[in-house]
Amino acid sequence: MVEHLVYTEFWSVFAVCLRDRRRAALPVAANRTMKLGSTVATVGFPNIGLQGFAPKFARREIGPLSGSQDDARYFQISVPVEPGNSGGALVDERGNVVGVLSAMLSMKAALATSGAFPQNVNYAVKSSFLLGFLESVPEIAAKLKEPNAKDMKFDVVEQAKEATALVLVY
């Protein structure tokens, strides 16, 4: 059984650790159903030094269907993202992963360009890129769940919390 896999793409790194079997897997859905204004949510561990070790929940919307400078690999999202959220799942209202939190707009660049600080201008890699990665790993591809197709009949927050783990790097 594979315990740790790291694969790199020219633009991103995805890592999968299969060691913690207690974590629930979330289904990954193709992101083509997402629209401007679609509601999305995340659970993460932002700024543990200031905010503590308890998981934090945030729900907002998808802004543009592209990232900075119209980069089609990303969604722009209004979900607050802080250090500690990166790599976390962005889930839709059905509990499907539709993206991976990846970046926030640089305050320095925004201030230099527009004279203003950005507010909740953040980015997530679209799930279509995540699916491509996951399907390329046979040990994972065989275990992918079918996306949830019906409206919530379960607690999305609780499912996202159960699938989220704090990763500390020293």
Write the CA distances from 168 to 16, 52, 54, 71, integer angstroms.
15, 13, 14, 30
Q: Tens of pLDDT along 159-168?
A: 888 888 777 7
Residues of the chain with confidence (pLDDT) below 70: 1-23, 151-154
- Residue 103 burial (10 A CB sphere; 0-12, 13-18, 19+): middle
Task: For the chain, give the number of residues.
Answer: 170
Q: What is the pLDDT of residue 5?
A: 44
Q: What is the pLDDT of residue 83?
A: 81
**Three-state DSSP class for residue 31:** helix
C-alpha dihedral, 105 to 40 to 87 to 166, nearest 10° = 120
- With a CB cutoff of 8 Å and minimum separation 6, the contacts of 116 are 110
Q: 136-163 in b/e burial notation, b at 16+ Cβ within 10 A?
A: ebeebeeeeeebbeeeeeeebbebbebb
Q: What is the pLDDT of residue 140?
A: 81
Q: What is the pLDDT of residue 2?
A: 42
Q: Tens of pLDDT along 48-76?
A: 889 999 989 999 999 999 988 899 999 99
Q: What is the pLDDT of residue 11?
A: 44
